[in-house]
Amino acid sequence: MTNKRMNFSTIIALAVLVVLGTDRTHAQSVPNLSGEWKVNIALSDYGTIPAPRMLTRTITHNDPSLHISTHHNGAQGETTPELIYTTDGRECVNKIQGSEARGTAKWQGDHLVIESVRNLQGTDIKSVETWTLSEGGTMLTITSRIALQQQRYSIRLVLDKQ
């Protein structure tokens, strides 16, 4: 009986260590996106949407907290949206030029996926962004799929760390 109890206790202890070790490994494998970033127009692909004249982004990332401040100057003028997410999949609400945007951010391996919907003048704009940090952390690629009514757009935004 004592051997069975010790074996059961050993199995439980090992299971707890495996779970804790998995969580720790996941936390260590998540890239840190913090930094000052500037668009690399030559490597970016805006498709049919006009490229901005200037785009810089400041990211403060302390997982699960993610704060994104973007300064954008393009065909629609100058904007400076501030977005706040948590990377645990909880819904977050942000204001963009007076309208509400609801979204979630979550890790899929070492890629961050942000899904959001924003209603602009009665029309929903849905987007799914996949963020990938290069090895070495010097380049951030954001691939966006945007749905606006029956239209679909794809954008690849490449940002260089400053």
Helix, strand, coil content of the chain in percent (nearest 5)? 15, 55, 25
This prediction has a pTM of 0.81
Residue 139's identity, in one-letter code, is M
**Domain 32-161 belongs in CATH node 3.40.50.300:** no
Residue extents of the structural domains in the chain = 1-30, 32-161
C-alpha dihedral, 68 to 33 to 113 to 67, nearest 10°: -20
Residues in the chain: 162
pLDDT in tens, the chain (162 residues): 555 555 444 444 433 333 344 343 444 579 999 999 999 999 999 999 999 999 999 999 999 999 999 999 998 899 999 999 999 999 999 999 889 999 999 999 999 999 999 998 899 999 999 999 999 999 999 999 999 999 999 999 999 999
